[in-house]
Amino acid sequence: MATNENTPVRTAVITGGARGFGKAFGDALARQGVHVVLVDRDSAAVEAAAAAIRAAGGSAEGLAGDVTDETRMAEVMAQAAKAHGGIDILINNAGLHSDEYGQPILKMGLAKVRRLFEVNVIGVVACTLAARPHMQGRAGASMVNISSSAAHMGGSAYGDSKLAVAGLTITLARELAPDGIRVNAISPGLILTDTIRAELPEATKARVKAMQMSQEDGEEADIVEAMLWLTSRKAKFVTGEVLRVTGGMAAGV
Ligand SMILES: NC(=O)c1ccc[n+]([C@@H]2O[C@H](COP(=O)([O-])OP(=O)(O)OC[C@H]3O[C@@H](n4cnc5c(N)ncnc54)[C@H](O)[C@@H]3O)[C@@H](O)[C@H]2O)c1
């Protein structure tokens, strides 16, 4: 859906936008005519992802930065807001979930657990605080945090960091409602993004898939569709929710 001269152009900031879900979110929003600002600590890859959107006819910029860096995130959000006078969508997607950070606490030790929570949890707060002044009062403003099926299943530090993301989603939804900003989360199940495809042993993939109800493989497109709905006017009455897109793996009440 392209915009026309009567439709104000929306701006979306997507953290962890260089690859995986973040890149797919950027591609999909750009196809809807949204100006996309990809943020990632991998500067070469984030610029390449933005250049690919531009080459396909979309509007995008790639900015380097670590989501835990409060000063840099303030600069990034101010830069993103310049194009169209503010920010309409923030996707807090950057996260550590590689094999290195999926280990038991006893194996990882304090430094790695601290970094895991710093990126996955504090990064969400840092970006939200930095984006808020640019989102206040924008019609239809909304944020989507990326949690995980692991949050609902217990038993890993990674899952615990994502459980904190689910909790923060409700807290931030309440605190930002007076600003007219909706805040929701998506908990993806196992989705074969490049990181997962490269790192997850086949046996683990099979074990995880056996926990699903659905016989289907989860795809990036499933998570993209959930994001598009949550950030659209169709979800105007939805805030403080955690939407599980897990093929039934993390079902529960
Ligand atoms: N792929 C899955 O099956 C799955 C399932 C559930 C949840 N998730 C969550 O979805 C999100 C994206 O997953 P993905 O598979 O696309 O990951 P990915 O590893 O492919 O991409 C993550 C991106 O985030 C960036 N990043 C990491 N730390 C950063 C930091 N401190 N500051 C800025 N950028 C940073 C990386 O450079 C990378 O480009 C993560 O939060 C992950 O925990 C993924």
- pLDDT tens-digit series, residues 80-131: 999 999 999 999 999 999 889 999 999 999 999 999 999 999 999 999 999 9
pLDDT of amino acid 175? 98
> pLDDT tens digits, residue range 140-167?
999 999 999 999 998 999 999 999 999 9
Helix (H, G, I), strand (E, B) or coil at 194: helix
* Ligand 1 pocket residue status of 196, Cβ below 6 Å: yes
What dihedral do alpha carbons 171, 185, 16, 31 form, nearest 10°?
-130
* Ligand 1 pocket residue status of 188, Cβ below 6 Å: yes
The answer for residues whose C-beta is within 8 angstroms of residue 253's C-beta and 6 or more apart is none
Whose C-alpha lies nearest to ligand 1, atom 42? Answer: 95
pLDDT of amino acid 116? 98
Within a 13 Å sphere around the CA of 121, how many CA atoms are in the beta-carbon half?
A: 19
Q: Which residues pair with 142 in a beta bridge?
A: 89, 182
pLDDT of amino acid 3? 45
Tell me which of 102, 158, 193, 218 is the catalytic residue.
Answer: 158
Q: How many CB atoms lie within 10 A of CB 109?
A: 10
Whose C-alpha lies nearest to ligand 1, atom 5? Answer: 188
**Rounded distance between C-alpha atoms, residue 167 and residue 179, angstroms:** 19
* Ligand 1 pocket residue status of 185, Cβ below 6 Å: no
Question: How far is the centre of ligand 1, averaged over its atoms, from the C-alpha of 215 (Å)?
Answer: 25
Of 155, 178, 167, 180, nearest to 125 by C-alpha is 167
pLDDT of amino acid 8? 87
Q: What angle do CA 35, 67, 121 make, to 5 degrees?
A: 115
Q: Confidence band (pLDDT; 50, 70, 90) for 4?
A: low
* Ligand 1 pocket residue status of 16, Cβ below 6 Å: yes
Report the length, in residues, of the chain: 253
158 noted as active-site residue: yes
CATH 3.40.50.300 for domain 11-244, yes or no, is no
pLDDT of amino acid 37? 99
Summarize the confidence of residues 52-58 as an average pLDDT. Answer: 98
Enumerate the domain spans of the chain. 11-244
Is the pTM above the cut of 0.85? yes
